Amino acid sequence: MDIEAIDIQTLIVADILGTITPDEKIQLEKLIIDRPELQSLYDEIREDMEKENLVAFAGGSISAAELIINAKRRVRNRYIRVIAAAACSIGLVGGLSLYLLTPQQPTALASWEDGKTILLKIGQQEINLENNAPTNVNGIALHPETGSLTFSSLNSTNHDLGVLTVPKGKNNYKVILADGSEVLLNNTSRLSFPLKFDGAKREISIDGEAYVKVAPKAGQPFIVRLPRNRQVDVLGTEFNVNTYDSGIARISLVKGRVKVAEGENNALLVPGKAATIDSQAISIREFDADEVLSWRDGIIVFPDNVTIERIAEVVSRNMKVKMIVEKSAAGKKFIGVILDKSKPIIHLLQQLTDTKEVSYNISKNGVIHIL
């Protein structure tokens, strides 16, 4: 069989730039499905392009072709090993030879929010879940896959807690809990959960944002602990929790019923309603599902009249680029802004500048200044 070499990096960069053809897009998706480790390479290249080439590309001083060359050169220098994949494992016509560059080991985390990898901590052990490598830790069999984790207990007496952290700029990550409940974590979020539910209650803790699907279990209520001693009592349901804003928790109910509580204050939610808990009280209102839940698909739909400061905060958290609002742009408001995390940040900047309300420049270190 004839083997044709494919430059996987070129396909990835073309997809990020939006210049990929439909046939190439299908080809790339098949490659990533067959070899999940390619997703990490995809994320690395996208981060490189957005942080290191943003200035030149946005300013028109570098072409898309040069951007591809530069991204590939940096990735080759950073990665140290080549893995070949035979065409028959992909199932594409004519056969392919795939050259995959494997990343060096990540550096230690400065803090969980600014970390480089999605980590699970059990006891004193930390597991990089992006390696997608099955492993046993303290009698727990872990089965990570791209974007999700399942596990099973090999030890009936194991009462360890797992702490899963998804740092800034990472894709969403789903955990299937011991009872079958599902938790989808957004980036800059942390989940603490028991590896077994064998008490009178099922309790987990969430800091950041997550979408929770609770498996019904009579006689064993499900409780979600939030920062500042707040909690959600669940009655077989689906809901979103968001604690990104300091001192504020938002719980948006999709299905079932939940009771939210802070101290002596509590409220019962019905589907379509959201509770906002702050230091003063619990307020209830309807919520826009697109705005609240679209993050699960890698898209941020900003509410109408969103401030530029809020946009900058969300961009910095999701895209691993720093955006600073200068005084000339302070307080500006926008309608219809959408952040698609699969596209370069240039797409969002174009939405902002098309309004003629603001402009921007990008410093040599990649910081975006909104003017």
Torsion of CA 171, 301, 113, 18, to 10 degrees: 40
- Predicted TM-score of the model (pTM): 0.69
CB-based contacts of 119, cutoff 8 Å, min separation 6:
109, 112, 126, 127, 128, 129, 164, 165
What CA–CA distance (Å, rounded) separates 46 from 229? Answer: 38
Chain segment 256-265, per-residue pLDDT in tens: 999 998 888 8
More reliable by pLDDT, 94 or 292? 292
Region label for 219, one of left (φ > 0), alpha (ψ between -120 and 50) or beta (otherwise) = left
Per-residue H/E/C for 94-148: CCEEEEEEECCCCCCCCCCCCCCCCEEEECCEEEEHHHCCCEEECCEEEEEECCE
Tell whether the model's pLDDT for residue 346 goes beyond 90: no
Chain segment 28-50, per-residue pLDDT in tens: 877 877 777 777 777 777 766 65
Reduce the DSSP state of residue 9 to 3 states and report it. Answer: helix
Chain segment 280-324, per-residue pLDDT in tens: 789 999 999 999 999 999 999 999 999 999 999 999 999 878 899
pLDDT tier, 336 (very low <50, low <70, confident <90, very high otherwise): very high
What are the counts of helices (DSSP H) followed by strands (DSSP E) for the chain? 9, 29
pLDDT tier, 212 (very low <50, low <70, confident <90, very high otherwise): very high
Q: Max Cα separation, the chain? A: 72
Mean pLDDT value across residues 123-135: 87
Mean pLDDT value across residues 266-272: 92
pLDDT tier, 200 (very low <50, low <70, confident <90, very high otherwise): confident
Mean pLDDT value across residues 101-114: 40
Instruction: Write down the mean pLDDT value for the chain.
Output: 78
Tell whether the model's pLDDT for residue 342 goes beyond 60: yes
Mean pLDDT value across residues 87-108: 30
Q: Which two tokens stand for residue 261?
A: 């509580």
pLDDT tier, 363 (very low <50, low <70, confident <90, very high otherwise): confident
What CA–CA distance (Å, rounded) separates 240 from 312? Answer: 23
What CA–CA distance (Å, rounded) separates 70 from 121? Answer: 36
- Of 70-84, 142-156, 344-358, least confident by mean pLDDT is 70-84
Chain segment 68-91, per-residue pLDDT in tens: 555 545 444 443 232 233 223 333
Give the position of tokens 């004193």: 124
* pLDDT value at residue 5: 30
What CA–CA distance (Å, rounded) separates 204 from 260? Answer: 15
* pLDDT value at residue 48: 65
Q: Which residues pair with 140 in a beta bridge?
A: 137, 153
Mean pLDDT value across residues 216-243: 89
What CA–CA distance (Å, rounded) separates 301 from 291? Answer: 5
